[in-house]
Amino acid sequence: MCRKYQRHCGAYLDLQEAAYGEWEVAETLEDVRAAWGRLGGRVVLHRYGRQHFSLMARHRHGDTDATVLLHARMIRRRS
């Protein structure tokens, strides 16, 4: 897991290069959007970990407990 201030770690740069590769062969605007959307999801997963990613998915699907847990995680990360 990366910290936010370590934006240029090796794994992040690898994810970015993979997204550029997808973007270069994209034929439609939807393909480009999908490539950059995947990059965003992969960066969140890399930076915050699987548990945070799973809580975000639960929150998106209406789980109220996930909101509380996400809030607690964000407070812990700030301190």
pLDDT at 20: 84
Confidence of residue 7 (pLDDT cuts 50, 70, 90): low
| Residue 23 near residue 50, CB atoms below 8 Å | no
Asked if residue 8 has pLDDT above 60, the reply is: yes
Single pTM value for the model: 0.62
For 10-27, give the DSSP string.
HHHHHHHHHHHHHHHH--
pLDDT at 1: 52
The string of pLDDT tens digits covering residues 29-41 is 998 888 888 888 8
Task: Return d(Cα 41, Cα 46) in angstroms, integer.
Answer: 9
